[in-house]
Homo-oligomer: A and B are copies of this chain.
Amino acid sequence: MPRFLLSNDDGYLAPGLAVLAEAMAPLGEVVVVAPEQDRSGASNSLTLDRPLRLRRGFNGFHYLVGGTPTDCVHLAVTGLFAEAPDMVISGVNRGANMGDDVLYSGTVAAAMEGRFLGLPALAVSLAGKDCTHYATAAQVLVGLVERLLHSPLPADTILNVNVPDLPFARLQGTEVTRLGRRHKSEAVIPAQDPRGERVYWIGPSGREADAGPGTDFDAVRRSCVSITPLDLDMTRYAFLEDLSQWLTRPRS
């Protein structure tokens, strides 16, 4: 029976995690190690400067005090338990992780860490504002996991799944997508603290810039599940040769 490691970046009390754990239970053994708190935006950050504490919540889920999503997967795969997991699943995230968001996402980072440590890995997010239909995302994920158990994906690849926040029956299909692009973020937002000192908020994300056919943005907008294969090797291979020429070209 396969062992599934579940994590997320919304914290071990997030509803999306509970729904996913329940949906996964029939497929194998489910172990949850998640951050204690909401760590959205943590990206792949890893805690190297201090040791971490593992606790168990009243809901039976393990959590790491002060831990990041990457910490959770890293520790769980490299020896926290007697048996290592066979697959890593991150989510269901509260809100989409599409386009440029992927870079900052702790949800995607948790899956990356799993793949990085040699395991098949998926990240799943519920694309919507109010996030009602976690069960839809969980059901989509169960189907992908069953498939993945029989047909592995290439190394260095994870699947980033975004599911529209709709009843399952209203989904319009599944599309393989590339990451879209947003416009540049909005400007920094200056404010004043109550003691009169200037502080700065990071502005909201930009609106969608490249959201045409083939992108994750587009699929979700048309009520389809978006599945984007992500590459863990960030080398821009197609540019290696040009870069060599660029370096040797005489400077004007």
Residues of A within 8 A of B (CB): 13, 36-38, 40-54, 57-58, 65-66, 70-71, 74-75, 78-80, 100, 102-104, 109, 112, 116-118, 146-147, 150-151, 153-154, 156-157, 159, 174, 176, 178-179, 184-189, 191, 193-195, 197-204, 227-237, 239-240, 243-244, 246-247, 249, 251-252
Which residues from B are CB-within-8-Å of A178? 233, 235, 237, 240
Which residues from B are CB-within-8-Å of A65? 37-38, 49
**A50-B50, A79-B188, A118-B184 are contacts. A239–B74 as well, Cβ < 8 Å?**
no
Query: Min CB distance, A61 to chain B, in Å?
Result: 12
CA distance A117 to B201 in the complex (A): 17
CA distance A185 to B117 in the complex (A): 8
Query: Min CB distance, A165 to chain B, in Å?
Result: 18
Which residues from B are CB-within-8-Å of A112? 103
